Amino acid sequence: MIRTFDEIYKLASGRPAAKLAIINPRKDYLFSAISNAEERGWIKPIVVNHKNDKMAAEIAVGIVRDGKADLLMKGDVSSDIILSAVLDREYGLRTGTRLSHTAVLESPVYDRLMLMTDGGVNPELDETILSSIIQNSVDIAGKLMNPNPNVAMLSLIEKINPNVPETVIMGKMAEKYRNSNSFTVEGPISIDVAISSRNAETKKIDSEIAGSTDIFIGPNITSINFMVKSLLGMGGAKGGGIITGAKVPIILLSRSDLMETKLNSIALGIVNL
């Protein structure tokens, strides 16, 4: 099992350079990340520039669709524009799976990588969307050499309570996949229990995954987004993130991301090919 970004870097460095299509990069922070990745031998950049962002996105998606690029990366354009081009029914990169964003975090106080999802794509959740989110994150865990990850369906509390709607759907999803051979799932489960076996014991919660959770499925997009940014900004965590569910991984960077985070995201995209 891969536990650090240093190990992810080594995995990325052991592969042939991937052809990376970047949509309208304009700012120095992006060119620095691209240059760094190219110097490491990870990528061969294909810069797609057009004065019209939508046209740039469509051109880049077409390059990927035609097999001339292996990965897609957001430049200085709106995420909505990229996703619109990717999801175009005739010319996009659709598969049968819903897109979702997975953030991968390396915390100084947790002994394994934390895959947190979905904090970037799906503002509303239902059972079908959650099924795709689970599968996408389990696939990423597999690429990180963790073939049997522990999955927490996060909620405020551990008991199903109709007055807390997230407990109902998280409980349904946990029950749906309870007999899965490829991952272990529990839910509803609170974040404090998911990250600590001591907390589970204190709260008298019988949990197989407490303290060894790999994948954290949030009850909504805001909660995961807040958690990821808090861990990166104040928790000393390293991180990166990609969108999966399309024909190729999509590297979606935030303007506030540190240089290291941008490079981490590129490395994640490469190892998920």
**pLDDT per residue over 9-60, tens digit each?**
999 999 999 999 999 998 888 899 999 999 999 999 999 999 999 999 999 9
| pTM reported for the whole predicted model | 0.96
Supply the CATH classification number for the domain 98-241: 3.40.718.10
**pLDDT per residue over 215-272, tens digit each?**
999 999 999 999 999 999 999 999 999 999 999 999 987 766 778 899 999 999 999 9
- Whether residue 118 is preceded by a cis peptide bond, meaning omega within 30 degrees of 0, is yes
CATH number among 3.40.50.10950, 3.10.20.30, 3.40.50.300, 3.40.640.10, domain 1-94+246-273: 3.40.50.10950
In the chain the first and final C-alpha atoms are separated, in Å, by 18
Domain coordinates in residue numbering, the chain: 1-94+246-273, 98-241
**Residue 94 is encoded by which pair of tokens?**
């659709």
**pLDDT per residue over 23-36, tens digit each?**
999 888 889 999 99
Measuring CA to CA, how many Å separate 249 from each of 153, 160, 219, 252, 268?
24, 35, 23, 9, 9
Output phi, psi for 100, to 5 deg: -155, 155
**Residue 96 is encoded by which pair of tokens?**
């049968």
What count of Cα atoms within 13 Å lies in the side-chain half-sphere of residue 138? 19
Please state, in angstroms and rounded to a whole number, the distance separating the CA atoms of residues 249 and 18: 12
